[in-house]
Amino acid sequence: MIQACLFDLDGVIVDTAKYHFQAWRKLANDLGFDFTPEQNEMLKGVSRIESLKLILDIGGVSKTEQEILELAEKKNEDYLHFVNQMDQKEILPGVESFIQDLRANHIKIVLGSASKNAVKILEKIKLIGLFDAIIDGTKTTRSKPDPQVFLMGAKAVEIPNEFCVVFEDAPKGVQAAQAANMYAVGVGEAQVLSHADQVIEGFDGLDYGFIKSISVKA
């Protein structure tokens, strides 16, 4: 029986991808090339430094490791301008009431995000109190599709991996969940998330019954 739900942040609880995109596009433009929304799709769930390296590849620009750190810092400053303006209106439809219902049914709630800004974002949208554990980019050393973030999450709430469900919007996140031997629910388009165990468009109308209906292999 499922005992813990692990939620990705960007694309599942809030749509911060649009802010990442604006900050990355500014950085690309400052370096003399463009960066498109289609290219931004590749960066979902990918860490800040790895995202930057992919963008520099797109522009055919080479930088030293020190310059890469400085550029990542600059991008984050631009990104934080958007984050600082976030509030509860940015919570994606249905996800807060879904989590509340899971909590009422004694399901552990965990955040599993690549972002180093996750705590700040959860504070801005006032959902931080709903989580039993938060594993984010400040705690992990390996990026999705490596399962590290979800394995650490399950361990933090002491639930066996096979009794965990992961909600993810990124194909790399779905891969990470499956590598952790967890049930992967893709949030978004079925075409993009075809490897997930199940795909939902969003959380509207979902409650504990959805979790109860999942039969795990264990």
Residues that bind ligand B16 (CB under 6 A): 8-11, 20, 43-48, 51, 76, 113-117, 137, 170
* 10 labelled catalytic: yes
CB of residue 66 to Mg ion, shortest distance in Å? 29
Residue whose C-beta lies closest to Mg ion: 11
In the list ligand B16, Mg ion, none, the entry touching 188 (Cβ below 5 to 8 angstroms by class) is none
Gap between the Cα atoms of 26 and 196, Å rounded: 33
Pairing of strands 183-187, 133-135: unpaired
Gap between the Cα atoms of 24 and 79, Å rounded: 8
As a whole number of Å, the CA-based R_g of the chain is: 17
User: Which segments of 1-105 does DSSP mark as H helices, in order?
Assistant: 17-30, 37-41, 48-59, 65-83, 95-104
* 197 labelled catalytic: no
Q: Which is nearer to Mg ion, 136 or 169 (CB)?
A: 169
Give the CA count within 13 Å in the CB-facing half-sphere of 60: 2
In the list ligand B16, Mg ion, none, the entry touching 20 (Cβ below 5 to 8 angstroms by class) is ligand B16
Q: Which is nearer to ligand B16, 2 or 166 (CB)?
A: 166
Q: Residue 164, Cβ neighbours under 10 Å: how many? A: 28
CB of residue 25 to Mg ion, shortest distance in Å? 19
Q: Which of 8, 34, 132, 169 is catalytic?
A: 8
Q: Which is nearer to ligand B16, 20 or 124 (CB)?
A: 20
Gap between the Cα atoms of 85 and 215, Å rounded: 40
Q: Which is nearer to ligand B16, 10 or 210 (CB)?
A: 10
CB of residue 170 to Mg ion, shortest distance in Å? 5
CA torsion 72-76-77-81 (nearest 10°) is 160
Footprint of Mg ion (CB under 5 A)? 8, 10-11, 45, 169-170
CB of residue 149 to Mg ion, shortest distance in Å? 11
Q: Which is nearer to ligand B16, 179 or 216 (CB)?
A: 179
Dihedral sign of CA atoms 33, 37, 41, 47 in order = positive
CB of residue 63 to Mg ion, shortest distance in Å? 26
State residue 151 phi and psi, 5-degree precision. Answer: -65, -45
Enumerate the active-site residues: 8, 10
